[in-house]
Amino acid sequence: MSLTASELEILKANSLSVANAQSMATQIESDLTVGGIFPNGASGDFTDQNVEKFKAKWCSWWSVAKILLTIAKVFTGPKGDDVIDALLKMGNNLCG
């Protein structure tokens, strides 16, 4: 996944992006269910999704969240990467 020019501009404008992405990575790795969005996320199963919970937490700021999640993959291991991939797929489908 590559970032668009406008997404890169958002990153440049926010000097805390890397720190925010690292914080997100830490939170995701400590809770692979992402607050219950993926109830079976700890076992690597992302088929059961709480769509309403996702929309409430992520869609209002999806344009920035997807950038931070992409950066967060630098700080996560394979399980965290899988969670982030599932979040990105879900967000792109639900939030646009």
Q: Measure the CA–CA gap between 9 and 23, rounded to whole angstroms.
A: 21
At how many degrees (to 10) do helices 62-72 and 17-30 cross? 70
Instruction: List, in sequence order, the alpha helices (H) in 1-96.
Output: 5-13, 17-30, 51-58, 62-72, 78-94
Q: What is the reported pTM?
A: 0.83
Read off the pLDDT of residues 80-90 as tens digits, 9 standing for 90 and up: 999 999 999 99
In this predicted model, what pLDDT tens digit does every residue of 33-58 receive, in sequence order? 999 999 999 999 999 999 999 999 99
Tokens of 8: 């890169």
